[in-house]
Amino acid sequence: MFNLDGRVAVVTGGAGLIGYAMAQGLATFGAHTFIADINEETAAKRAEELSAKGLRCSALAMDISDVDSISSAINKVLSQVGSLDVWVNSAYPKSKDWGLPFEKVSADSWRAAVDGQMTSYCLCSREAAEAMRPRKRGSIINLGSTYGIVGPDFSIYEGTALTMPAAYAAIKGGIINFTRYLASYYAKDGIRFNCISPGGVENNQDASFVERYVLKTLVGRMARPDDIAGAAVFLASDASAYVTGHNLVVDGGWTAI
């Protein structure tokens, strides 16, 4: 059921921490996986790393904020391999003032953040779904977050340079519910839409933050990128053929208590 042989997958932000893990997971289970990233050089390096392991992987230059770039990238995939079966929206563009306190965020900055992330996910989802529509099948996966479901516990950030921007909560909450809309809209076309909402992923954060974060989980650790990759393989494959409009929370029990 988890076999992805013969399928074609695109992972936006595929050169990033979580995106790369998901790209490797999809390729490991047989998909020809395209690592799509605005940084073409980094995407090519990542694709070479996976190809050296015997996996089918290619690099794809794409700017998720530019609909022409999205369309061009999809056309390139279709011309090279003839189909598109799985699309993962994992890119995470951030503005220069991403960590500003809410009361200091300008209106222009807020609009740019929402447009750069949520609008881009919506445009990517539409273009990918339209490419899948003629074949009446496909799986599109959006990356949400636990902070699109619950409010942040700001106490875990105290004494560190880390924070949780207000725009992030708005964006991720919007992505989660828009995924449900798309699942309903494209159901007749055989295209499934789902979300993965990760908890905090370990990435060399401040030790005091990690200690406080771990205390709030049930499994006693932060997430690893591979934890998110497993969820992506499930939602991309026939193992989840009866799953659509779902938000799969991968947070070690953070939101369970």
Active site residue ranges? 168
Other CB atoms within a 10 A radius of the CB of residue 82 amount to 8
Please tell me the distance from the alpha carbon of residue 34 to that of residue 23, in angstroms, as a whole number: 8
Alpha-helical (H) ranges within the chain are 17-28, 40-51, 67-81, 107-114, 120-132, 166-185, 207-215, 225-236
- For the four alpha carbons of 143, 128, 61 and 33, in that order, the dihedral sign comes to positive
Report the residue count for the chain. Answer: 257
Task: Supply the DSSP string of 49-68, one letter for each residue.
Answer: HHHTTT--EEEEE--TT-HH
**Are 116 and 65 contacting, i.e. CB atoms less than 8 angstroms apart?**
yes
The two tokens of residue 242 are 């009866």
Distance of CA 162 to the CA centre of its chain: 21
Please tell me the distance from the alpha carbon of residue 186 to that of residue 126, in angstroms, as a whole number: 10
